[in-house]
Amino acid sequence: MASIYGLTDPETGELRYIGKAADPEKRLRGHMREMRRHTPLYCWLRKVGKPGLVILEADCGDWAEAERRLIAGARARGDRLLNIADGGDEPFCAPEVRAANGPKVAAARSKVLWQVYRKFGANRKYFEGLGDTLRARKMEDATAMLKRVEHQARKNGTIAALEQRLITSKLAYV
C-alpha cells in the first residue's frame, strides 16, 4: 500500500511538494540523495536543506487518484507546490529512455565524489543495521551537505578543487 506524503518548508511549515511512496521516510532520504537533479523540487531542497515530512493520506487503495486529488486541492488553495506533474502516473518516462539516460549520467559523474557518496551510504546502512539511528542520520546529513557543496562547486567551476580536497582528506582515493 502506498501513502501520499507532503514535504514542508522547515521554517514556515508551508506545504511545497506532494508525492507517493510505500515508505515516505525512505523516500525522503531518496530525495535528499538525488539533489543533483535540476527540477524545482531539488533546487528548493538544495536551498532549504532537509524539509518536514507529513503524511497526507496513509495506505491509499487508489494512490494515483489520491495523489491527483491532493495536488489539485493544494493548488486550488493557492499552495505554492513544486510538483511539475498533476500526480498519478505522470510524468511517464519510457524504459528505453531511462536505459539510455543511465550511461550518460554515469559518464558525467565524478568518480571521486561517487566514492565518497558510496562510503557515506555504506556507513549509513552499517549504522542502521546496528540500530544506531543517530549516526545513520548523520551519514544522511553528510550526504545531503556534500550534494549541496557539489552543486555549488559545479556552478562555480571549482569541482576539481573539491575533488582534490576530498582526496587530500582521505575520503576518496585516486
pTM of the model: 0.59
Confidence band of 110 (pLDDT split at 50, 70, 90): confident
- Find, among 114, 109, 100, the residue nearest to 143 by Cα: 114
**Do residues 17 and 62 both lie within one domain?**
yes
**Do residues 7 and 73 both lie within one domain?**
yes
Structural domain that includes position 52: 2-77
Which pLDDT belongs to residue 90?
63
Is the pLDDT assigned to residue 11 strictly greater than 70?
yes
Q: For residues 173 and 106, what is the distance between their CA atoms, to the nearest angstrom?
A: 18
Q: For residues 147 and 63, what is the distance between their CA atoms, to the nearest angstrom?
A: 31
**Do residues 20 and 62 both lie within one domain?**
yes
